[in-house]
Structure 1
Amino acid sequence: MELSLATRTVGEHTVLEVGGEVDVYTAPRLRERLIELIDAGHRKIVVDLARVDFLDSTGLGVLVGALKRLRPAGGTFGLACDKEPLLKIFRITALDQVFPIFPTVGAATGEDPDGPTGVTGAVPTP
């Protein structure tokens, strides 16, 4: 399956919509796009994983790398994901303690009045 990447702006946040499979073959494209965004000065980034069907360790590594690159620049990096199989991966790897994970882009950006505001908290894990 192919990887699709699309960028949009929600308030002060840059949202990178990811679709398809993020694996050893497609992760370099995701890495390149995240580096482009960070190098272009985007400091509030939300990665929307709603259309991701598969995420492997290479994809996780790309997300961690982007977070590490953005933090020293004073940026925020959150994930929007409500798919249980993906959330399980984040819990098993304890990356749910590293990334702020929100159920929707609206919750991650503060645009959803019923969700948390800003990229500051994580989805509670059972």
Structure 2
Amino acid sequence: MRQEPRQEPAPRLEQLRVHEARGHTVLELRGEIDIAAATEIGPYLDRVTDRPGVRVVIDLRHIDFFDCSGLRLLYRAHHRVLDGGGQLQLVCVHPLTLRLLRVTGLSRLLPPRPTLDAALDRSEASSGPV
């Protein structure tokens, strides 16, 4: 008997919530995003960003701590999405994280938006009518 491929469920990670909004996969990172969290989140983020033409929003509004491990996640996701012809938007309001994004130059690649709606609107404006 032939088995049909099964779609993998969203991960059950304390630091990650996943949902769909207006044709985008929204990844909400929560709590402390350090090397331990990044190790758990990384494989799932790779699977999401590996799809051609994927539209992703990474939402950092619910983080308490974000270090260079989180920066690596963002940088890797950015390149994977662009290589597949997709779009990646970032939501961030945390002052220390915004500073970290500016100091490292990552804010030039992924300009942070203050709300999920702003990120979704930006993505839709850059892709034109669907």
Q: TM-score range by the shorter chain?
A: 0.7 to 0.9
Residue 31 of structure 2 is aligned to residue 20 of structure 1: yes
Please give the residue correspondences for 1:80-95 in structure 2 after superposition, counting only pairs within 5 Å: 80-95=91-106
Q: CA deviation at 1:38?
A: 2.2
Q: Which runs of 4+ in 1 moved over 2 A?
A: 38-42
Q: What is the distance in 1 between the residues matched to 2:72 and 2:44?
A: 14
Q: Relative to structure 1, is the Cα distance of residues 40 and 74 closer, same or farther in structure 2, using a 3 angstrom cutoff?
A: closer
Residue 49 of structure 2 is aligned to residue 44 of structure 1: no
Q: Is the 8 A contact 2:52 2:84 kept in 1?
A: no
Greater Rg over alpha carbons, structure: 2
Equivalent residue, structure 2, for 1:74: 85
Q: Percent of aligned positions with the same letter in both sequences?
A: 32
Q: CA deviation at 1:26?
A: 1.1
Q: What is the distance in 2 between the residues matched to 1:119 and 1:33?
A: 24
RMSD in angstroms over aligned alpha carbons? 2.0
Which structure is higher in helix share?
2
Q: Give the number of aligned pairs.
A: 114
Equivalent residue, structure 2, for 1:29: 40
TM-score, reference length from structure 1: 0.81
Q: What is the distance in 1 between the residues matched to 2:124 and 2:101?
A: 17
Q: Is the 8 A contact 1:23 1:58 kept in 2?
A: yes
Q: Relative to structure 1, is the Cα distance of residues 42 and 23 closer, same or farther in structure 2, using a 3 angstrom cutoff?
A: farther
Equivalent residue, structure 2, for 1:56: 67
Q: Is the 8 A contact 1:3 1:21 kept in 2?
A: no
SS of the counterpart of 1:25?
helix
SS of the counterpart of 2:15?
strand
Q: What is the distance in 1 between the residues matched to 2:94 and 2:111?
A: 15
Equivalent residue, structure 1, for 2:20: 9
Deviations 1:35-74 (A, max 9, x none): 1212355711001101111111111011101111111110
Of 120, 123, 126, 1:118 maps to: 123
Q: Mark the runs of 5 or more structure 1 residues left unpaired by the alignment.
A: 111-116, 122-126
